[in-house]
């Protein structure tokens, strides 16, 4: 069976019985591809177009099919005179990239952008000096390039520099250790307008000035608060207490609360009912064990230990792909059921083997059309043919691989024996071609060995009975 190749990167999967003695070279080529998948490269651009090839359209068997597009982190360099459109090929490759636009301006009209495209679908533009995480859906002619971080959701964001937001910033909790300055002068005309708008509330450790008035330290209506900001209707909106760093609430129920050093644990509570309750969910950090846990309905569901081991209390459902760096501990009941057990008797193709069971190949039937028998050596080792006309065994339609061997079984026409000629790539003992038996229904076997592509040696057993 001929080699096949993975869709996205063209990693060669050697067919059964193929490339005898050459597995090492092919494996090394595949490892070179894997090495690029985890690596970085600078790619120089020029002009206004560039093709970034991830996989050859037709990879060669046993050859090194390396491409720049196999690198996951790519820094585009070079001096540009205009925006450069980079086409990721082929359009059936599904892959992701970390792209850095480090190009320079060749004149005075730049700097310029890099436009990533794969098909007629969406494109992504990476402006000069910026980076992007993108993926290609590999959908063929309609393939699209998608910004993987366009709808980024994270629990905590820490930055040592500035954050520039050109659109809307939506977050459940934002902490600023320095000064947060908003230059917008938009005034508020309702509860949904103004420079700063929150649907929950705003907690301030020191003074809060709103316009020319402030309401700080008013009588709390939620238990244990020592600082409360009262809304215009007199209802408690934000409160702070001894254990509670921040609590958002209405008059009766806490909606969100942050607790610190409560039984050596810090926690964020979501949707609490009543003071100190945890009916719904919370994110908890154990300051002694240094582990983190996620809770719902007052039940611990997921724990991440200080050693990085994640423990799930129930089933784990993964809708897409997942990468695990380290050991995965499975329930013993899964072994042999949903997980294949290790079998010491499993054969390995790179060591000597003793096969106690019978081994056989599939015999592929050949037909003659227009006085020619087409044969593809990459499809099988053994073949058969029953004569229907005078014909020629054509040269293989694919590249013959040295070391392949097999047998072609010929059966003569039942009432009118036919002749057999040979293509130019077949060699015979003494240079004399084998003449098949000219008798009704006669059976001949012709063995072949591939010395090299274009040199196939034949020998025969004739008139078998």
Q: Which residues contact 281 (CB under 8 A, 6 or more apart)?
A: 269, 270, 271, 294, 295, 296, 297
Q: Are 274 and 280 in contact (CB under 8 A)?
A: no
Residue 114 or residue 13, greater confidence: 114
DSSP-based three-state secondary structure for 25: helix
363-464: CATH topology: Jelly Rolls (2.60.120)
Secondary element (H or E) of residue 267: strand 265-270
| pLDDT tens-place string over residues 417-441 | 999 999 999 999 999 999 999 999 9
Q: How confident is the model at residue 33 (pLDDT cuts 50, 70, 90)?
A: confident
Per-residue DSSP letter, 34: H
DSSP string, 94-163: -EEEEEEE--EESSSS----EEEESSSS--EEE-TT-EEEEEE---GGG--EEETTTT---S----SS--
Which tokens is 105 given?
Answer: 């301006």
What pLDDT, on a 0 to 100 scale, did the predictor assign at position 144? 96
Per-residue DSSP letter, 223: T
Rg, Å, the chain Cα set: 36
Positions of CATH 2.60.120 in the chain: 363-464
β-strands 405-411, 382-386 pairing: parallel
Q: Which burial class, exposed, middle or buried, applies to 178 when counting CB atoms under 10 A from its CB (0-12, 13-18, 19+)?
A: exposed
* For residues 26-30, average pLDDT: 85
pLDDT at 223 over 50: no
Q: How confident is the model at residue 189 (pLDDT cuts 50, 70, 90)?
A: low
Cis peptide before 90 (omega within 30 of 0): yes
Angle at 372 between CA 368 and CA 373, to 5 degrees: 55
pLDDT at 43 over 60: yes
Extended strands (E) in 9-91? 12-13, 40-44, 49-53, 73-77, 79-80, 84-89
- Residue that is written with structure tokens 């970390």 in the block: 98
pTM assigned to the model: 0.39
Q: How confident is the model at residue 119 (pLDDT cuts 50, 70, 90)?
A: very high
| pLDDT tens-place string over residues 52-81 | 999 887 787 767 788 899 899 999 999 999
| pLDDT tens-place string over residues 312-323 | 777 777 777 777
Identify any residues that bridge with 311 across adjacent strands, giving them in sequence order: 303
Q: Which residues contact 88 (CB under 8 A, 6 or more apart)?
A: 52, 54, 69, 95, 116, 117, 118, 136, 145
Q: Which burial class, exposed, middle or buried, applies to 238 when counting CB atoms under 10 A from its CB (0-12, 13-18, 19+)?
A: buried
| pLDDT tens-place string over residues 77-98 | 999 999 999 999 999 999 999 9
Which tokens is 451 given?
Answer: 């010395």
pLDDT at 48 over 90: yes
Which tokens is 432 given?
Answer: 């004399």
| Buried b or exposed e, range 307-332, using 16+ CB within 10 angstroms | eeeeeeeeeeeeeeeeeeeeeeeeee
């Amino acid at each position: 069976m001929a080699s096949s190749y993975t869709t996205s990167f063209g990693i060669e999967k050697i067919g059964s019985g193929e490339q005898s003695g050459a597995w090492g070279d092919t494996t090394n080529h595949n490892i070179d591809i894997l090495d690029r998948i985890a690596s970085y490269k600078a790619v120089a651009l020029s002009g206004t177009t560039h093709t970034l090839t991830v996989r050859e359209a037709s990879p060669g068997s046993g050859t090194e099919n390396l491409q720049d597009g196999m690198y996951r982190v790519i820094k585009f360099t070079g001096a540009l005179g205009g925006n450069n459109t980079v086409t990721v090929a082929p359009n059936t490759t599904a892959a992701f990239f970390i792209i850095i636009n480090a190009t320079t301006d060749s004149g005075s009209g730049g700097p310029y952008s890099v436009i990533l495209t794969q098909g007629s679908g969406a494109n992504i533009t990476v402006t000069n000096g910026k980076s992007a995480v993108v993926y290609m859906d590999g959908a063929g002619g309609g393939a699209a390039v998608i910004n993987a971080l366009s709808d980024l959701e994270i629990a905590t964001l820490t930055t040592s520099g500035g954050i520039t937001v050109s659109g809307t910033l939506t977050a459940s909790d934002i902490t600023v250790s320095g000064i947060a300055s908003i230059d917008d002068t938009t005034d508020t005309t309702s509860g949904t307008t103004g420079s700063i708008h929150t649907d929950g509330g705003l907690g301030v450790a020191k003074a809060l000035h709103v316009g020319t008035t402030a309401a700080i330290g008013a009588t709390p209506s939620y238990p244990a608060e020592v600082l409360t900001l009262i809304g215009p209707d007199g209802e408690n909106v934000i409160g702070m207490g001894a254990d509670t760093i921040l609590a958002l609430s209405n008059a009766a129920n806490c909606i969100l609360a942050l607790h610190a050093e409560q039984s050596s644990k810090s926690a964020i509570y979501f949707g609490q009912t009543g003071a100190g309750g945890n009916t719904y969910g919370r994110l908890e950090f154990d300051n002694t064990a240094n582990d983190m846990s996620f809770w719902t309905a007052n039940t611990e569901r997921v724990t991440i230990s200080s050693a990085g081991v994640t423990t799930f209390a129930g089933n784990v459902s993964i809708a897409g792909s997942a990468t695990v760096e380290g050991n995965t501990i499975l329930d013993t009941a899964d072994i042999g059921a949903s997980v294949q057990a290790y079998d010491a008797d499993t054969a390995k193709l790179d060591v000597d083997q003793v096969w106690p069971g019978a081994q056989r190949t599939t015999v592929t039937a050949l037909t003659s059309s227009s006085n020619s028998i087409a044969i593809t050596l990459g499809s099988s080792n053994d073949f058969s043919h029953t004569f229907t006309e005078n014909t020629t065994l054509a040269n293989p339609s694919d590249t013959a691989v040295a070391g392949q061997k097999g047998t072609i079984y010929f059966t003569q026409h039942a009432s009118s024996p036919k002749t057999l000629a040979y293509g130019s790539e077949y060699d015979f003992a003494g240079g004399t071609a084998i003449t098949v038996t000219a008798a009704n229904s006669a059976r001949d076997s012709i063995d072949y060995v591939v010395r090299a592509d274009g040199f196939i040696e034949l020998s025969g057993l004739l008139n078998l009975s």
